[in-house]
Amino acid sequence: DTEVTQTPKHLVMGMTNKKSLKCEQHMGHRAMYWYKQKAKKPPELMFVYSYEKLSINESVPSRFSPECPNSSLLNLHLHALQPEDSALYLCASSNLGVDPRDEQYFGPGTRLTVT
C-alpha cells in the first residue's frame, strides 16, 4: 500500500497567521520530502529528511519551517507567508533517501491560499 496522507486538504490563511501542514506515511520509508507546486508548473523540491534528519534545504525562506517528529511524520510550519506562497504543497516519501533509484510516492497535497 503506497499511501501518503496529508492534512488539511485545503487551507486559507492570512499573512499574519501561523499554521502547520501535516504528512504521514506507514510504509516504513526512511526519507520524506516537501515539494511546492504552482499552477501549470512541475513540483519543486523544498526539503528532504533522511532518517529523521534534514538533509536538503533548497534555500527555502525561513517562513517555512519543516519538522520530522519521527520516521512516519513530517510537518511544515508556516508563518508570515506571502500571497505568492499560495500553491499546492506535496509531501512524498521513499524507501531510503540515499539511493537515486528510490521511487518517491506522493500524498494528495494541501492546497494553500494566502490572503
Partner 1 sequence: RKEVEQDPGPFNVPEGATVAFNCTYSNSASQSFFWYRQDCRKEPKLLMSVYSSGNEDGRFTAQLNRASQYISLLIRDSKLSDSATYLCVVSRGATNKLIFGTGTLLAVQP
Question: Which residues contact partner 1 (rule: CB under 8 A)?
Answer: 2, 31, 41-45, 48, 50, 55-56, 88, 90, 94, 96-109, 111
- Of 13 and 88, CB closest to partner 1: 88
CB of 37 to partner 1, least distance (A): 9
- Of 16 and 39, CB closest to partner 1: 39
- Of 45 and 80, CB closest to partner 1: 45
Residue among 86, 79, 109 at smallest CA distance from 19: 79
Residue among 55, 46, 35 at smallest CA distance from 98: 55
Q: For residue 70, with 0-12 CB atoms within 10 Å meaning exposed, 13-18 middle and 19 or more buried, which class applies?
A: exposed
CB of 22 to partner 1, least distance (A): 15
CB of 36 to partner 1, least distance (A): 12
Q: How far is CA 56 from CA 2, 12, 31, 62, 70, in A?
A: 23, 27, 11, 14, 17
